[in-house]
Amino acid sequence: MMSEEEQLEITPEAPKGKGADETAQKQAAHMQRIKRTLVACFMGIAMGLVSFYVSGAVDPATGLQPNAIIGVLFLMAGVVFQKHIFMLMRIDYTELGGKDWFYQAFMTFAFWFISWSTMLTTVLM
């Protein structure tokens, strides 16, 4: 069995200098990506709920709303509005490329679709 002093000698220390800076930058970039993903998720849920309540009463026979196109417009507005939320959260949105915006739009769409269709289903039951 090793003594505590021997274990301390074997365990590597945290990198200092250039490696520590890179690690800190990677962690900061990772936190920014997590924040952007959370914004997309919450925006999708919010726009799904708003779409449900604004689009009108659900027809029990078909399960459709009379103004469903308004829900799609709210989805698009939610994707565009994320840029302004990024500004409020002090996230640099200018570094986002086409792939990043596609990811933001897809995550917003997925959560919008799930929340809106769940609301439509619960009304019909």
What tens digit of pLDDT does each residue of 96-122 get? 899 999 999 999 999 999 999 898 887
How far is CA 10 from each of CA 3, 4, 7, rounded to the nearest angstrom? Answer: 11, 10, 5
Higher local confidence (pLDDT), 36 or 58? 36
**pTM here?**
0.76
- 8 A C-beta contact, residue 85 and residue 43: yes
In whole angstroms, what is the distance from residue 82 CA to residue 85 CA?
5
pLDDT tens sequence across 21-44? 889 889 988 999 999 999 999 999
**pLDDT-based confidence at 125, cuts 50/70/90?**
low
Q: What is the pLDDT of residue 7?
A: 54
State the average pLDDT over residues 45-69. Answer: 88
Is pLDDT above 90 for 61?
no
List of residues 6+ apart from 5 with CB closer than 8 A:
none
Instruction: Name the strand (E) or helix (H) holding 5.
Output: helix 4-10
